[in-house]
Amino acid sequence: MSRSAKVNQVILIIFDDIRAEHLFKMMKEGRLPNISEIAEGGIRCSNCITSYPAITFPCYGNIVTGAYSGYFPKEGSGVPLYHWVDRMDPPSTRKKFPFIRNYGDWSQLLKINNDIGNNVKTIFEQVPGENMLSSTCFLFRGAQFTIAENYFDVEPIFTNIEKAFKNPGEFFSNKEVPLITIGYVPHTDTLMHDFGFNNINYINQIIDCDKYIGSLMNTLKKEGFSDSTAIAITTDHGNFEAKKVVDLEQFFQQKGLIPYIPKKGTGDFDCNFGSVGFFNFPGETWHHHPTNQEMQKYKASGIGKNNLNLFEVLWEIPGVKFMYYRDDDNKPEKGIIHIEYQEKKSGKKINGMIEYQGFGIEQKTRYSFDVDDFYGYSENENSARNLDNKFHTIDEWIEATNHIDFPIIVDQIPRYFKNPRSCDIMVSTLNYSFNYEHGKTLGISPYSHDNGLRESMIVPFIIGGPSEIPQMELAYCKTTDMVPTLLDLLGYKPDSSVIGKSLL
């Protein structure tokens, strides 16, 4: 143990798709005794803010790296989203047509280890040594990756970790236990999408996981590692139930908009749309992002109107409340994201913008609007303080907005749009669900998790185990604080790409 280290090993468990309010309620009801024991003896926060958009990738990848998306040729993660079109800045001349990345496709999922780029590092890459273990954590660069033979079984995610502490020689040639372990549980997300957050199968899955964590704690005790191993628990995002489910296939057909087919280079648009929609259109070629003028006078290849104004077309999608797009003159280090908002009752449109400058931890952003504040920041003394026409850091935004809807969204939107792989127009409905991916409606589930409201954005943050870990309850934190805090417990400094801070 180095002089400043409080523990010798850390184990991070990332559950997919559990709200902080639900996990802490179950703990209060005595249904998760093992997670409660870890939380009560250590660091706990029921107001941890995840990344926006609240989608598995980037959210879970950002936990593992402690960073966010950005202009990845220079800084930040190259993964802006679960789905993206491979466009570069400047546009690629080597490839015929840009591919569509979709991590929902098994054959593409592990490519994320390369996609994140070299300007961010997984927690495994941020410390020396080789004893790093990933148990079903798909972003595992720098670690030994294990996955259960029967992927549909949750228990092996935990028993594999137990094995590494019982028989480390099975995993590592130096026969020492893993220094850093991440166990990732995707199964909770599948159940939430299929059945919802009140469903008994979803709830029982969380209760089962608590039992597996209890078994892991017993193994650590038996093998003599319980007082030197921190156990951390968090989730990538929360969830919500949409009020309306709509099939968009016909809508696009009627507009004459044909889905992009990368192999042929044909088509007018690519889109994936839960409650937030991400639209890609070709500029000069599919490698180029279009200018705003090009999107105002757009020629669709299907039977429909020519000179489509895509901004007007996308406003016709039911339930749309927000629209976001880049300014044509944006640079990685400085630029503007335009926002249009439609008031539900009056139908009145309000314009606003987010201006950004700087990179990484030094990025500063300013939010302004022409008539009214549409995020509700002005209604609250704490958040209204940041409507002072000045640029603010992520830490200033989290301090001001951690207790309301749309927490840190002003910081997050530019980090997304700076990435050349991000879309051209993003629209947000907050409470509709479309289940639309690349030309097809894939389901009718109303259960989703991408919006900027608290139910999606607030996750649990727990670190406990050894008595050396201080007991404290935090008023707020962010998911990217997990990596630097765990590294601090181990006595290491995080990589310079890490945006989060140690909470110790």
Cα–Cα distance measured from residue 162 to residue 299, given in angstroms and rounded to the nearest whole number: 58
Cβ nearer to Zn ion, comparing 17 with 37: 17
Contact letters (x/-) for Zn ion, 139-178, by CB under 5 A? ----------------------------------------
Shortest Cβ 60–Zn ion spacing (Å)? 6
Torsion (CA) 117, 339, 287, 416 in degrees, nearest 10:
10
411 binds Zn ion (CB under 5 A): no
Contact letters (x/-) for Zn ion, 44-63, by CB under 5 A? ------------x-------
What is the 3-state secondary structure of 150-177? CCCCCHHHHHHHHHHHHCHHHCCCCCCC
SS3 percent helix, strand, coil of the chain, rounded to 5, is: 30, 25, 50
Q: Among residues 16, 396, 437, 450, which is the contact residue for Zn ion, using CB under 5 A?
A: 16
Shortest Cβ 236–Zn ion spacing (Å)? 4
Structure tokens of 186? Answer: 């995707």
Q: Which stretch binds Zn ion (CB under 5 A): 10-18, 350-358, 359-367, 464-472?
A: 10-18
Amino acid at the residue 216: L
455 binds Zn ion (CB under 5 A): no
Closest CA to 96 of 330, 302, 286: 286
Give the residue nearest to Zn ion (CB): 56
Shortest Cβ 193–Zn ion spacing (Å)? 9
Cβ nearer to Zn ion, comparing 171 with 240: 240
Closest CA to 464 of 475, 472, 454: 472
Residues in contact with Zn ion, counted by CB under 5 A, come to a total of: 5
Contact letters (x/-) for Zn ion, 235-254, by CB under 5 A? -x------------------
Shortest Cβ 402–Zn ion spacing (Å)? 21
Cβ nearer to Zn ion, comparing 16 with 495: 16
Backbone angles phi, psi at 273, to 5 degrees: -150, 105
Buried b (16+ CB within 10 A) or exposed e, 422-454: bbbbbbbbbbbbbbbbbbebebebbbbbbbbbb
Shortest Cβ 56–Zn ion spacing (Å)? 3
189 binds Zn ion (CB under 5 A): yes
Backbone angles phi, psi at 15, to 5 degrees: -90, 145
Residues contributing to the site for Zn ion (CB under 5 A): 16-17, 56, 189, 236
